[in-house]
Structure 1
Amino acid sequence: MAGDRPGTSVNAWRPPVPGIAEVFHAHFTDYAYPAHTHDTWDLMILDDGSVDFALDRSRHGATGTATVLLLPPGVPHDGRTVTAAGFRKRNLYLDESVLPHRLTGRAVDAPILIDGPLRDRIHHLHVALRHPGDGFEAESRLSFVRERLRVHLDALRPRAPGREASRFAVALRELLDARTAAGVSLGEAASVLHADPTHLIRCFTRTYGLPPHAYLTGRRIERARRLLLDGHRPAEVAATVGFHDQAHLNRHFTRHVGTTPARYQRAGRDVPAPSFTKSRLL
């Protein structure tokens, strides 16, 4: 599926495999997406090119087909192309049944894993996921991927306790999570939390690494992706997740995902056949 930018292609779908919320394949040649968070683990492999990204305010670069990126849930990250050729990537969004959220702190400090066998396991899982009838094989391969990811995470030392998150930041995040679709004005949030509006924004940004409005937009985009893959019309999705109209959804969705909601949805209905061969379980 072609995206809005020359040389861009995106494919996304929700597989019938427990633990995998979404499969996302993309080729970006000139693209930078804004800081946002996911409520799932983002497991990514590169098929070509280089990517530059920030995670929890630390910048990283990844190159090469032996590279595996594991970005934890709830932690802000961005990303951008490095060269004119861009990069090709394959992502799996994994829920807590695969990796528990308690391991997030360990993953923040070491998001890049140089592990050829793990990369091979993820590749063969992607192959199986392109065949709806191969759900049992995909579950089996996911099990091997999870096993090796746990080896990496268990080997990392727990992150040293840092400054406690501001109580205002935590309270505002809970308010935004509870009112993702309805939204809340800054004045109302300040009134509910008994805080100065400017102080509230500063506390949130200092604690979570992005301003409240960017966090709320990212949460809405996350929900929109799920609804689109479930077959809901973009106009309906826009209203459901809290955007003013479909044009408002289109603008933010394209910035975050690299393609329009309609094209993203069509990709989920027409997953192309794989061009590589399957292999035995590792």
Structure 2
Amino acid sequence: MDGHADTVVLRPGIDGIAEVFHTHLRQHAYPMHTHRSWTLLIIDSGTVRYDLGRHEHGALDRTVTLLPPGVPHNGTPTTAQGLRKRVLYLEPEQIDTGLVGRAVDHPMFDDPLLRHRVHQLHGALFRQGDRPEAESRLELVSERLRQHLRGTVGPAAHPDDPGLAERLRDLLDARTVEGVPLAEAARTLHAHPAHLTRVFTRRFGMPPHQYLVGRRVDLARRLILEGRAPAHAAAVSGFYDQAHLNRHFTRILGLPPGHYARARRMGAPSRLSGASERP
């Protein structure tokens, strides 16, 4: 492969994702090969031609491609500028292996919502400290892929379990600082992770990871009001570091925590200059 400087490889430490791979291919053509994982591909520029299951396919920058584990495939960029792609290698159990045949027959999805969700997942994986967001976005992506492969994409209703969203909220409130992995929450509440995320989002208007971040920002805000330094507030509120707090604090409140701390000091009550004088 040429263009090594344009390649990024990440092992994110998220259950269900074996590897993240970003690269710019200019001339390299992949020979026939297989992966043990599901290969989830989006293209940022260029196009690629590939063979899968003895059929020729092509992938465009608006589509999502899912190549199943254990099935030989190749790949060749078809434009002069090469191919910029982002790939997620999903663990085999992330998608029912009984759907491999469907993926061989229909490996490409022209689905703007799915592509946007995959893009958001890549962003979360490369932001330090955003593991809860990455987990919930992975579940949404995986659910959409399963729906495509089963032919059930559409507005099918999913009945809510009364109180399920509230039970997850209580769990997040109890573990705001340390957090709770989505898979663990699903086991604790006896619900599928994707269903849990969907029910919570419908009930509270935001996904669980966004709720958890808001609770952490609220905790950091109270600590800063008590006079704690932003770095300390970040450490004890569950943020990866102060930069992680800065990003979310600014997004929610419109100013960084350092400015918030200075504004608090300027607005603090102080003695009047003549307070010690007799009336």
TM-score band by shorter chain is 0.5 to 0.7
Residue 74 (structure 2) aligned to one of 62, 71, 78: 78
Instruction: Decide which of 18, 22, 27 is 2:19's aligned counterpart.
Output: 22
Q: How does 1:88-107 map to 2 (within 5 A)?
A: 88-107=84-103
Root-mean-square deviation (CA, aligned residues, Å) is 2.2
Task: Count the aligned residue pairs.
Answer: 156
Query: 8 Å contact 1:7–1:29 — kept in the other structure?
Result: no
Q: CA deviation at 1:5?
A: 2.2
Q: TM-score if structure 2 supplies the norm length? A: 0.53
Task: Determine which structure has more spread, i.e. the larger CA radius of gyration.
Answer: 2
- Detail structure 1 runs of 4+ shifted over 4 Å in the superposition: none
2:42 to 34, 41, 45: 45
Checking the alignment, whether the CA contact within 8 Å between 1:56 and 1:76 is kept in structure 2 is yes
Q: SS state of the match for residue 142, structure 2?
A: helix
Structure 2: stretches of 5+ with no match in the other structure? 153-246, 252-279
1:259-279 CA distances to partner (integer Å, 9 max, x unpaired)? Answer: xxxxxxxxxxxxxxxxxx999
For residues 3 and 137 of structure 2, what CA distance do their matches in structure 1 show? 34
Equivalent residue for 2:139? Answer: 143
User: Is the partner of 1:132 in helix, strand or coil?
Assistant: coil
Letter matched to residue 102 of structure 2: R
- 1:45-98 C-alpha deviation (Å, 9 max, x unpaired): 01111001111121111222x210000000000001101101110000001331
Paired residue type of 1:60? H
Aligned equivalents of 2:145, 2:77: Cα separation in 1: 26
Provide, for residues 13-45 of structure 1, a one-character-per-residue CA deviation record: whole Å limited to 9, x for no partner: 110110000000011111101100001100000
Structure 1 letter corresponding to 2:120: H
Q: After the TM superposition, which residues 1-282 of structure 1 pair with which residues of structure 2 at under 5 Å, given as runs?
A: 5-6=2-3, 9-64=6-61, 66-155=62-151
Query: Aligned equivalents of 1:132 and 1:41: distance in 2?
Result: 24
Measured against aligned partners, the alpha-carbon deviations of 1:142-201 in whole angstroms (never above 9, x if no partner) come to 011011111101118xxxxxxxxxxxxxxxxxxxxxxxxxxxxxxxxxxxxxxxxxxxxx
The Cα of 1:8 is off from its aligned counterpart by 6.5
Q: Which amino acid letter does the alignment assign opposite residue 148 of structure 1?
A: R
Distance 1:129 1:5 in 2: 25
Matches of 2:38 and 2:63, distance apart in 1:
16
CA, structure 1 residues 29+144, in 2 after alignment: closer, same or farther (shift >3 Å)? Answer: same
SS in structure 1 opposite 2:94? coil
CA distance in 2, matches of 1:127, 1:67: 18
Q: Structure 1: which 5+ residue stretches go unaligned? A: 157-276
Give the structure, 1 or 2, with the largest relative contact order (CA under 8 Å, sep 6 or more).
1
Q: Distance in 1 between matches of 2:4 and 2:33?
A: 24
Query: Is 22-31 or 91-100 further displaced after alignment?
Result: 91-100
